[in-house]
A and B are shown apart, each in its own frame.
Chain A
Amino acid sequence: MIRFDNISKRYPSGLEALKRVSFELEAGEMAFLTGPSGAGKSTLLKLLMLMERPSSGTLLINGKNLNRLSRSLIPSYRRQIGVVFQNHQLLSDRTVFENVALPLQISGYPPSETGRRVRAALDGVGLLGKETHNPLTLSGGEQQRVGIARAVVHKPKILLADEPTGNLDPALSAEIMALFRRFQSVGVTVLIATHDINLINSLDHRIMHLEDGMLTDDGAHSNGQ
């Protein structure tokens, strides 16, 4: 589903954030991406979100070469993936419902179906009662769950998460992780960047380790498949 082939990313500043990274993630697989700050985790996710382009190497998503995707096709690509951001990226001038509905609205879903899907997604993260709230009035964990609902409301095949438990206590983190595992169990390919080693060690999933832009551990052998 996701395939990195000798991907390098060098920024104009000269910083080489990724050095010849290669790995493959099967459809329906869940993997963690770990490593110290600045190791290249965020850069790797940005390449997958097409916020950045690789300097060299090929990036294949479901067999399609992302390097060849023109700028005008980026929006439709992004609509097919779900992304959970560390800082939630919620809009504070809209309700929880409107925030979660955003990807559907952008894709052009009819309003009736939008309502149904948004409520289903909010139900899934246990926030059905908070539709009309402003995200700012919610706790950190709740905001993160709104972000997750938004990331999955359009049923993406790939779910990316950048430090989704970054500011949460262990109990909340475990809840969020449980959510991700549920998505994986229904066939979503999940890639989570995190430095929360304690949390992921307690889970039996593939762990990839980045160190100074290089993939030092592919984690494929510990993959439960």
Chain B
Amino acid sequence: MMGRIPMVSNQNTREPMARGASDHKIRLVDRWRSYRAHHRATLTATLKKMLGEPIQTLLTVVVIAIALALPSAMFLALHNMQSLSSGFESSAQITVFVKKNTDSQGITQLGRELKALPEVAVTNYISSEQALEEFKALSGFGSALQYLDDNPLPAVFLVQPVMSSAADISQAQQLVQAIGALAAVDDIQVDMLWMQRLATITDVSKKLVLALGVALIIGVLLVIGNTIRLAIQSRREEIIVVKLVGATDAYVRRPFLYTGLLLGLFGAIMASILLLASFYWVGQSIAVLANLYQSQFQLAGPGFLGILGLWGAGSLIGLIGAWVAVMQHLRAIEPK
């Protein structure tokens, strides 16, 4: 009823184990081929398993996606804010009011002195007459101004400082002091302060985004780690069986590492969809706003490389989370 027993061929009969060992030799090419085959099989099996419990998988993926999308969106917003404020930087200027009664020679002298200062990039002279014309045209008080006996507006130098960064407060202050020391200067008005504040706010936000990003990435690691831990527990029997028939640690690890990798990747893909959707949504309003300000500003998107980077980062975080969980829990499962 049992039939013949073909597993052990008769030539091997009663030969020592040395012969047996050579029976177990498998060609390296075959080993490599079968290693790749196992990777493929593990990947397919892992995918099937994930799709087999869609709700569970979707929940995990959504949590990961949100945790990845939040810091990415904030990073993107920050990036845009920086490029916007660097556009403002060029408009940072110092208004130097010339003392009344300074004659044209004194004004030319002041202009030369200002230009001689190393921190000054460009100066622009507006005479008191020009200033009055401009004021008439822009303020709408044109007719009322005609009743003034005398032009109340001083002549003005608009000084454009050389600025390496908007946050360079001390440099700007030194320049203001140097200008104040010049003879014909009456008063100085600096409209850089709000820029410096903006720069500082950007700096603070950068740190906040970084801190939040780190916290959320740790969150993703924990979510994936916990998912893998549960997966390991539910496949305890299987792990014991494969270990009993000689599976290496790498073999046992593989499906769990793939699970982590795929969860991270799917989370990142969903995060990029969220990111692009909200980017498109906000971008429309930004365009209208920019138009109102006659600005050429356009919201910069994550870009193709940014999206790829997000996917790579998601996969890597998934892999690391799985690895940590596997290291913690797999070794404890030994056949008893």
Contacts and interface: CB of A to CB of B under 8 A. Distances in A.
Interface in B1-39: 1-10, 12-18, 20-21, 23-24, 26, 30-31, 33-35, 37-38
A182 B17 contact: no
A123 B15 contact: no
Given A79-B245, A106-B245, A150-B245, A187 B2 contact: no
Contacts of A124: 2-7
Chain B CB within 10 A, most for which of A76, A77, A106: A106
Interface residues of B, number: 45
B247 A110 contact: no
A224 interface: no
A108 B245 contact: no
B245 A125 contact: no
Contacts, number: 134
Interface in A197-225: none
B75 interface: no
Given A106-B251, A124-B4, A49 B17 contact: no
Contacts of A78: 243-246
B242 A27 contact: no
Given A91-B241, A155-B8, A76 B246 contact: yes
Given A80-B24, A155-B8, A28 B2 contact: no
A179 B2 contact: yes
A85 B246 CA distance: 14
Contacts of B16: 27, 62
A75 B2 CA distance: 31
Interface in A51-94: 51, 61-62, 72, 75-80, 83, 85, 89-91, 93
B245 A182 contact: no
Contacts of B242: 102, 106
B24 A89 contact: no
